[in-house]
Amino acid sequence: MYFKIKQRILYLAIGVVGFLVAYSAGAAVHISKEQANDLRQHFSEQIKGIDQNGIFVNNARIALGMFLPAAGIGIGGFVGFNTGMIFTAIAEHSALSNVPPLVILITPFGIMEVFAYGIAISRSALVIYQIVKKKPWREFTIPTLVEIGIVILILFAGAIIEWQIITQFSGIHSVPNV
């Protein structure tokens, strides 16, 4: 059992590193001012009227997609890459312009989200491995369901923390629908 826990932690680390690499690659993409403006505008439209429940639903929906066997790895990479690009587009014309992109991920909610996404991405790969090895479905179904529950709890707590930080630093208590 100790070996399985150690192995699971290794796979989790690989999932986290994979997400961070994709995020860093997205943040490193050089985009024109026009593209940055388009990304910012699109992102602003997506988050209109969002609160801690909206943050949670958005992140949970993304994470659940990352649990899909094999496809979850691609979804995780895609989300990481796009998140990095959006950070760069937002940072370009704000107080974040001199902030390294990975700094946003060392916030309490950022760490929680990356950890949750790492669990989901790595489980996606593990399920494929177990299917290829023709393991009985019961052997990976229960751990997958447990990890889904853990990810949901982490993202719920992360959404509360993120919303508290947003409201504390912005002086708003809800985002108006505009």
**Predicted confidence pLDDT, tens digits, the chain (178 residues):** 677 889 899 999 999 999 999 999 999 998 888 888 888 888 878 777 788 999 999 999 999 999 999 999 999 999 999 999 998 888 877 777 778 888 888 999 999 999 999 999 999 999 999 899 888 888 889 999 999 999 999 999 999 999 998 888 765 555 444 3
d(CA 111, CA 115): 6
CA distance 26 to 39: 13
- 27 Cβ partners below 8 Å, 6+ apart? 84, 85, 87, 88, 101, 102
Q: In this structure, are residues 158 and 113 in contact, taking their beta carbons and an 8 Å threshold?
A: yes
Among 49, 27, 22, smallest CA distance to 103 is for: 27
The two three-digit tokens of residue 175, written as one number: 């985002």
pLDDT of residue 178: 36
Half-sphere exposure of 49 (CA within 13 A, CB side): 4
Return d(Cα 94, Cα 167) in angstroms, integer.
Answer: 18
Per DSSP, the residues of 102-117 read: GGGGGSHHHHHHHHHH
pLDDT at 170: 63
Distance between CA atoms of residues 35 and 53, nearest Å: 29
Quickly count helices (H) and strands (E) in the chain. 6, 0
How would you classify residue 70: left for phi > 0, otherwise alpha for psi between -120 and 50, otherwise beta?
left
